[in-house]
Amino acid sequence: MQIRISWPAGNITATLDADTPTAQALAKALPLTSSACTWGEEVYFDTGIAVSRETDARQVVEPGTVAFWTDGDALALPYGPTPISRGDECRLASPCNVLGRLDGDPRALATVRGGDPIRVELIDDQG
């Protein structure tokens, strides 16, 4: 399953594992619009959906991971260190459900500014 994440200065696509309960809940909620927040080199935003933390939730992830922060009902998109990282790692605020990966360079997210409108939509595989 592919999604597109757009903001005023750009957009990026991501490939999600459609088999997880969190990805399925997100797909049902799309398209969605939200307001971007930044935390170090991470972009996150409210999705309006609430899901439980999955058993394989992780706090330290690779740059470009698409994660769902269950504590904040938000998608979390780290592209570099956050304020609680040790060294260059991407350390999320708390363990998050891992949904998939951004396609391309995750540093494209560096152009997102706090308060930017964010739109997430499903990319139709048929077209």
Tens of pLDDT, residues 40-91 = 999 999 999 999 999 999 999 999 999 999 999 999 999 999 999 999 999 9
Q: Which helix (H) or strand (E) holds 23?
A: helix 21-29
- Domain housing 75: 2-122
Q: How many domains does one find in the chain?
A: 1
Residue 10 located in a structural domain: yes
pTM, to two decimals:
0.94
Whether the predicted pLDDT of 15 surpasses 60: yes
Residue 127 located in a structural domain: no
Buried b (16+ CB within 10 A) or exposed e, 56-94: ebbeebebbbbbbbbebebbbbbbbbbeebeeebbbbbe
